[in-house]
Structure 1
Protein backbone atom coordinates (compact mmCIF):
# COMPACT_ATOMS: atom_id res chain seq x y z
CA UNK A 1 0.00 0.00 0.00
CA UNK A 2 1.49 3.39 -0.96
CA UNK A 3 1.91 6.09 1.65
CA UNK A 4 -0.14 9.20 0.96
CA UNK A 5 0.64 12.33 2.98
CA UNK A 6 -2.13 14.76 3.92
CA UNK A 7 -2.99 17.71 1.69
CA UNK A 8 -0.32 20.46 1.81
CA UNK A 9 2.01 18.29 3.90
CA UNK A 10 5.54 19.61 4.50
CA UNK A 11 8.18 19.50 7.20
CA UNK A 12 8.62 22.73 9.14
CA UNK A 13 11.58 21.50 11.18
CA UNK A 14 13.49 18.25 10.88
CA UNK A 15 16.54 18.51 13.10
CA UNK A 16 16.67 17.07 16.60
CA UNK A 17 12.88 17.12 16.53
CA UNK A 18 10.29 16.91 13.77
CA UNK A 19 7.54 19.47 13.22
CA UNK A 20 5.17 19.13 10.28
CA UNK A 21 2.31 21.08 8.72
CA UNK A 22 -0.64 19.91 6.64
CA UNK A 23 -4.31 20.00 5.86
CA UNK A 24 -6.82 17.87 7.74
CA UNK A 25 -5.72 14.21 7.57
CA UNK A 26 -8.10 11.78 5.90
CA UNK A 27 -8.25 7.99 6.39
CA UNK A 28 -6.05 7.41 3.32
CA UNK A 29 -3.31 9.40 5.13
CA UNK A 30 -3.36 7.39 8.36
CA UNK A 31 -0.80 4.78 7.26
CA UNK A 32 1.62 7.57 6.28
CA UNK A 33 1.13 9.31 9.63
CA UNK A 34 1.45 6.07 11.60
CA UNK A 35 4.40 4.51 9.75
CA UNK A 36 6.38 7.57 8.63
CA UNK A 37 5.82 10.34 11.18
CA UNK A 38 5.47 8.52 14.53
CA UNK A 39 3.68 11.54 16.00
CA UNK A 40 3.32 12.29 19.69
CA UNK A 41 1.17 15.41 19.23
CA UNK A 42 -1.36 16.78 16.75
CA UNK A 43 -2.47 20.39 16.91
CA UNK A 44 -5.57 21.24 14.87
CA UNK A 45 -6.18 24.94 14.24
CA UNK A 46 -9.63 24.96 12.69
CA UNK A 47 -13.37 25.14 12.92
CA UNK A 48 -14.51 21.54 12.35
CA UNK A 49 -15.30 19.03 15.05
CA UNK A 50 -12.97 16.05 15.04
CA UNK A 51 -14.45 13.12 13.13
CA UNK A 52 -15.07 9.92 15.06
CA UNK A 53 -12.79 8.03 12.67
CA UNK A 54 -9.92 10.51 13.14
CA UNK A 55 -10.37 10.52 16.93
CA UNK A 56 -10.25 6.71 16.95
CA UNK A 57 -7.05 6.75 14.89
CA UNK A 58 -5.42 9.29 17.22
CA UNK A 59 -6.44 7.28 20.29
CA UNK A 60 -5.17 4.01 18.80
CA UNK A 61 -1.82 5.65 18.01
CA UNK A 62 -1.63 7.29 21.45
CA UNK A 63 -1.28 10.74 19.86
CA UNK A 64 -2.13 13.73 22.05
CA UNK A 65 -4.72 15.87 20.24
CA UNK A 66 -5.16 19.61 20.79
CA UNK A 67 -8.01 21.38 19.00
CA UNK A 68 -7.82 25.16 18.93
CA UNK A 69 -11.20 26.17 17.56
CA UNK A 70 -10.75 29.22 15.29
CA UNK A 71 -12.32 30.45 12.09
CA UNK A 72 -9.49 32.80 11.07
CA UNK A 73 -6.83 35.11 12.46
CA UNK A 74 -9.59 37.72 12.69
CA UNK A 75 -11.01 35.84 15.71
CA UNK A 76 -10.53 37.77 18.92
CA UNK A 77 -9.02 34.67 20.61
CA UNK A 78 -6.53 33.88 17.85
CA UNK A 79 -3.53 35.41 19.68
CA UNK A 80 -4.34 33.31 22.73
CA UNK A 81 -4.57 30.20 20.52
CA UNK A 82 -1.20 30.97 18.92
CA UNK A 83 0.31 31.25 22.40
CA UNK A 84 -1.14 27.79 23.18
CA UNK A 85 0.48 26.38 20.02
CA UNK A 86 3.79 28.00 20.93
CA UNK A 87 3.67 26.47 24.43
CA UNK A 88 3.29 23.02 22.87
CA UNK A 89 5.98 23.64 20.23
CA UNK A 90 8.41 25.00 22.80
CA UNK A 91 8.36 21.74 24.77
CA UNK A 92 10.53 19.09 23.14
CA UNK A 93 8.64 16.37 25.02
CA UNK A 94 5.71 16.89 22.58
CA UNK A 95 7.68 15.98 19.43
CA UNK A 96 7.16 14.84 16.73
CA UNK A 97 4.29 17.30 16.12
CA UNK A 98 1.85 17.82 13.25
CA UNK A 99 0.05 21.17 13.08
CA UNK A 100 -2.85 21.18 10.67
CA UNK A 101 -5.82 23.24 9.59
CA UNK A 102 -8.54 22.22 7.14
CA UNK A 103 -6.60 22.68 3.90
CA UNK A 104 -3.13 23.49 5.25
CA UNK A 105 -3.15 27.01 3.85
CA UNK A 106 -4.20 30.06 5.84
CA UNK A 107 -4.59 29.21 9.54
CA UNK A 108 -1.66 26.82 9.64
CA UNK A 109 0.22 29.30 7.43
CA UNK A 110 -0.17 31.99 10.06
CA UNK A 111 0.95 29.64 12.85
CA UNK A 112 3.98 28.45 10.87
CA UNK A 113 4.78 32.04 9.92
CA UNK A 114 4.88 32.99 13.59
CA UNK A 115 7.07 29.98 14.38
CA UNK A 116 9.40 31.04 11.56
CA UNK A 117 9.47 34.63 12.83
CA UNK A 118 9.78 34.14 16.60
CA UNK A 119 11.53 30.79 16.95
CA UNK A 120 13.67 30.56 13.83
CA UNK A 121 14.46 34.19 13.05
CA UNK A 122 13.24 34.12 9.45
CA UNK A 123 12.93 37.34 7.49
CA UNK A 124 9.48 38.72 6.72
CA UNK A 125 10.20 38.21 3.02
CA UNK A 126 10.86 34.49 3.50
CA UNK A 127 7.76 34.08 5.67
CA UNK A 128 5.56 35.85 3.11
CA UNK A 129 6.99 33.75 0.29
CA UNK A 130 6.35 30.48 2.12
CA UNK A 131 2.83 31.62 3.04
CA UNK A 132 2.16 32.45 -0.63
CA UNK A 133 3.49 29.07 -1.77
CA UNK A 134 1.04 27.19 0.46
CA UNK A 135 -1.93 29.52 0.01
CA UNK A 136 -1.77 29.17 -3.77
CA UNK A 137 -0.74 32.75 -4.32
CA UNK A 138 -3.70 34.30 -2.55
CA UNK A 139 -1.91 36.78 -0.36
CA UNK A 140 -4.21 36.96 2.65
CA UNK A 141 -3.12 40.45 3.66
CA UNK A 142 -4.87 40.17 7.04
CA UNK A 143 -2.96 36.94 7.77
CA UNK A 144 0.38 38.47 6.77
CA UNK A 145 -0.32 41.55 8.88
CA UNK A 146 -1.16 39.30 11.84
CA UNK A 147 2.16 37.48 11.47
CA UNK A 148 4.06 40.75 11.19
CA UNK A 149 2.41 42.36 14.21
CA UNK A 150 2.22 39.29 16.49
CA UNK A 151 4.25 39.41 19.68
CA UNK A 152 4.13 37.34 22.82
CA UNK A 153 5.50 37.36 26.33
CA UNK A 154 5.55 33.60 26.87
CA UNK A 155 7.73 32.26 29.63
CA UNK A 156 8.91 28.68 29.13
CA UNK A 157 11.47 26.39 30.73
CA UNK A 158 14.75 26.78 28.86
CA UNK A 159 15.73 23.12 29.32
CA UNK A 160 12.60 21.97 27.44
CA UNK A 161 13.11 24.20 24.39
CA UNK A 162 14.04 22.27 21.20
CA UNK A 163 17.53 22.94 19.82
CA UNK A 164 16.27 24.59 16.59
CA UNK A 165 14.78 27.52 18.53
CA UNK A 166 16.83 30.70 18.50
CA UNK A 167 16.57 31.95 22.07
CA UNK A 168 16.97 35.55 23.08
CA UNK A 169 18.89 36.41 26.19
CA UNK A 170 17.41 38.99 28.56
CA UNK A 171 19.48 42.14 28.72
Structure 2
Protein backbone atom coordinates (compact mmCIF):
# COMPACT_ATOMS: atom_id res chain seq x y z
CA UNK A 1 0.00 0.00 0.00
CA UNK A 2 1.45 3.33 -1.09
CA UNK A 3 0.82 6.35 1.12
CA UNK A 4 1.28 9.84 -0.25
CA UNK A 5 3.09 12.18 2.08
CA UNK A 6 2.19 15.83 1.94
CA UNK A 7 4.85 18.24 3.10
CA UNK A 8 3.77 21.85 3.69
CA UNK A 9 6.11 24.75 2.95
CA UNK A 10 8.34 26.21 5.65
CA UNK A 11 6.36 28.15 8.31
CA UNK A 12 3.03 27.09 6.78
CA UNK A 13 -0.08 27.95 8.77
CA UNK A 14 -3.72 28.83 8.17
CA UNK A 15 -4.45 32.53 8.77
CA UNK A 16 -8.20 32.38 8.09
CA UNK A 17 -10.25 29.22 7.74
CA UNK A 18 -13.86 30.32 8.07
CA UNK A 19 -15.86 31.22 4.96
CA UNK A 20 -12.61 31.47 2.99
CA UNK A 21 -9.13 30.00 3.36
CA UNK A 22 -6.05 32.19 3.67
CA UNK A 23 -2.65 30.65 4.37
CA UNK A 24 0.88 31.87 5.05
CA UNK A 25 4.24 30.20 4.42
CA UNK A 26 7.79 30.44 3.23
CA UNK A 27 8.70 29.95 -0.43
CA UNK A 28 7.24 26.64 -1.70
CA UNK A 29 9.78 24.11 -2.95
CA UNK A 30 9.06 21.21 -5.34
CA UNK A 31 8.64 18.86 -2.36
CA UNK A 32 5.67 21.04 -1.29
CA UNK A 33 3.83 21.05 -4.62
CA UNK A 34 1.73 17.94 -3.93
CA UNK A 35 0.62 19.45 -0.60
CA UNK A 36 -0.38 22.68 -2.33
CA UNK A 37 -2.14 20.84 -5.14
CA UNK A 38 -3.95 18.18 -3.10
CA UNK A 39 -4.65 20.00 0.16
CA UNK A 40 -5.09 23.72 -0.54
CA UNK A 41 -6.87 24.02 -3.90
CA UNK A 42 -5.48 27.53 -4.29
CA UNK A 43 -6.87 30.20 -6.55
CA UNK A 44 -4.19 32.82 -5.79
CA UNK A 45 -0.63 33.00 -4.49
CA UNK A 46 0.78 36.35 -3.38
CA UNK A 47 4.57 36.42 -3.11
CA UNK A 48 5.94 39.19 -0.90
CA UNK A 49 9.68 39.01 -1.22
CA UNK A 50 12.83 40.22 -2.80
CA UNK A 51 13.58 37.43 -5.29
CA UNK A 52 13.48 38.82 -8.81
CA UNK A 53 13.67 35.48 -10.56
CA UNK A 54 11.01 32.86 -9.99
CA UNK A 55 12.11 29.36 -10.95
CA UNK A 56 10.79 27.96 -14.21
CA UNK A 57 9.68 24.85 -12.30
CA UNK A 58 7.58 26.93 -9.89
CA UNK A 59 6.02 28.96 -12.71
CA UNK A 60 5.22 25.73 -14.61
CA UNK A 61 3.57 24.27 -11.49
CA UNK A 62 1.46 27.41 -10.99
CA UNK A 63 0.38 27.41 -14.64
CA UNK A 64 -0.43 23.68 -14.58
CA UNK A 65 -2.59 24.17 -11.48
CA UNK A 66 -4.13 27.39 -12.86
CA UNK A 67 -3.05 29.38 -9.79
CA UNK A 68 -2.94 33.15 -10.18
CA UNK A 69 0.59 34.23 -9.11
CA UNK A 70 0.98 37.82 -7.91
CA UNK A 71 4.53 38.89 -7.05
CA UNK A 72 4.77 42.01 -4.88
CA UNK A 73 8.43 42.97 -4.57
CA UNK A 74 9.12 43.92 -0.95
CA UNK A 75 12.51 44.33 0.63
CA UNK A 76 11.06 45.42 3.98
CA UNK A 77 8.43 47.67 5.51
CA UNK A 78 10.86 50.53 4.82
CA UNK A 79 10.26 50.35 1.06
CA UNK A 80 9.49 53.78 -0.40
CA UNK A 81 6.18 52.64 -1.92
CA UNK A 82 5.19 50.21 0.85
CA UNK A 83 1.74 51.77 1.31
CA UNK A 84 0.81 51.13 -2.34
CA UNK A 85 2.15 47.57 -2.15
CA UNK A 86 0.18 46.75 0.99
CA UNK A 87 -2.97 48.39 -0.37
CA UNK A 88 -2.59 46.17 -3.47
CA UNK A 89 -2.28 43.05 -1.27
CA UNK A 90 -5.26 44.10 0.87
CA UNK A 91 -7.33 44.71 -2.26
CA UNK A 92 -6.65 41.11 -3.36
CA UNK A 93 -7.40 39.72 0.11
CA UNK A 94 -10.65 41.69 0.34
CA UNK A 95 -12.14 40.03 -2.75
CA UNK A 96 -13.72 36.60 -2.22
CA UNK A 97 -13.16 35.76 -5.89
CA UNK A 98 -9.42 35.34 -5.16
CA UNK A 99 -9.78 32.60 -2.52
CA UNK A 100 -8.24 30.29 -1.40
CA UNK A 101 -5.07 32.39 -1.08
CA UNK A 102 -1.51 31.61 0.01
CA UNK A 103 0.74 34.53 0.96
CA UNK A 104 4.39 33.60 1.06
CA UNK A 105 7.77 35.24 1.37
CA UNK A 106 11.17 33.58 1.29
CA UNK A 107 11.13 32.17 4.83
CA UNK A 108 7.56 33.01 5.94
CA UNK A 109 8.72 35.21 8.79
CA UNK A 110 9.06 38.99 8.56
CA UNK A 111 7.40 40.19 5.33
CA UNK A 112 4.52 37.73 5.65
CA UNK A 113 4.41 38.62 9.35
CA UNK A 114 3.82 42.26 8.46
CA UNK A 115 1.03 41.41 6.01
CA UNK A 116 -0.65 39.00 8.44
CA UNK A 117 -0.23 41.49 11.30
CA UNK A 118 -2.02 44.14 9.27
CA UNK A 119 -4.81 41.68 8.40
CA UNK A 120 -5.16 40.75 12.08
CA UNK A 121 -5.20 44.39 13.23
CA UNK A 122 -7.28 46.08 10.51
CA UNK A 123 -9.59 43.33 9.30
CA UNK A 124 -10.04 41.14 12.36
CA UNK A 125 -9.73 43.61 15.21
CA UNK A 126 -6.90 41.81 17.01
CA UNK A 127 -5.13 43.60 19.82
CA UNK A 128 -1.60 44.78 19.13
CA UNK A 129 -0.38 42.40 21.87
CA UNK A 130 -1.90 39.46 19.99
CA UNK A 131 -0.38 40.62 16.71
CA UNK A 132 3.06 40.96 18.36
CA UNK A 133 2.77 37.51 19.91
CA UNK A 134 1.92 35.83 16.59
CA UNK A 135 4.70 37.76 14.82
CA UNK A 136 7.16 36.53 17.47
CA UNK A 137 6.09 32.91 17.05
CA UNK A 138 6.69 32.91 13.28
CA UNK A 139 9.87 34.98 13.41
CA UNK A 140 11.39 32.52 15.86
CA UNK A 141 11.60 35.15 18.57
CA UNK A 142 13.74 37.36 16.36
CA UNK A 143 12.91 40.94 17.14
CA UNK A 144 11.36 42.91 14.35
CA UNK A 145 10.84 46.24 16.11
CA UNK A 146 10.63 48.14 12.85
CA UNK A 147 8.04 45.68 11.49
CA UNK A 148 6.00 45.77 14.69
CA UNK A 149 6.05 49.57 14.82
CA UNK A 150 4.99 49.64 11.16
CA UNK A 151 2.04 47.30 11.84
CA UNK A 152 1.01 49.42 14.83
CA UNK A 153 1.05 52.66 12.82
CA UNK A 154 -0.35 51.29 9.52
CA UNK A 155 -3.55 52.86 8.22
CA UNK A 156 -5.21 52.72 4.83
CA UNK A 157 -7.97 54.51 2.95
CA UNK A 158 -8.57 51.52 0.71
CA UNK A 159 -11.91 51.45 -1.07
CA UNK A 160 -13.26 47.96 -1.80
CA UNK A 161 -16.39 46.37 -3.23
CA UNK A 162 -18.50 45.54 -0.16
CA UNK A 163 -20.25 42.78 -2.15
CA UNK A 164 -16.95 40.93 -2.57
CA UNK A 165 -15.78 41.11 1.07
CA UNK A 166 -14.92 37.83 2.78
CA UNK A 167 -16.92 37.22 5.95
CA UNK A 168 -13.95 37.61 8.31
CA UNK A 169 -13.24 41.21 7.23
CA UNK A 170 -14.49 43.83 9.67
CA UNK A 171 -14.67 46.93 7.51
TM-score range, shorter chain: over 0.9
Q: 1:17 aligns with which of 15, 20, 23?
A: 20
Cα shift readout 1:15-53 (whole Å, capped 9, x = no counterpart)? 010000000000000000000000000000001121111
Tell me the equivalent position of 2:95.
91
Query: After the TM superposition, which parts of structure 1 deviate over 4 Å for at least 4 consecutive aligned residues?
Result: none
- Calculate the TM-score normalised by the size of structure 1: 0.96
Gaps (5+ residues) in structure 2?
none
SS at match of 1:33: helix
- Say whether 1:61 aligns with 2:65: yes
Mapped to 2, the partners of 1:145 and 1:50 lie a distance apart of 30
Question: TM-score scaled by structure 2?
Answer: 0.96
Secondary structure (helix, strand or coil) at the match of 1:12 reads: strand
User: Which residue is equivalent to 2:50?
Assistant: 47
Q: How many residues align?
A: 167
Structure 1: any 5+ residue segments left out of the alignment? none
User: Deviation at 1:78?
Assistant: 1.6
Matched ranges for 1:1-171 at <5 A:
1-48=4-51, 49-167=53-171
For 2:143 and 2:135, locate their aligned partners in 1 and report how far apart those are by CA, in whole Å: 8
Matched position secondary structure for 2:22: strand
CA RMSD in angstroms comes to 0.6
Say which SS state the counterpart of residue 136 (structure 1) adopts. Answer: coil
Helix, strand or coil for the counterpart of 1:83? Answer: helix
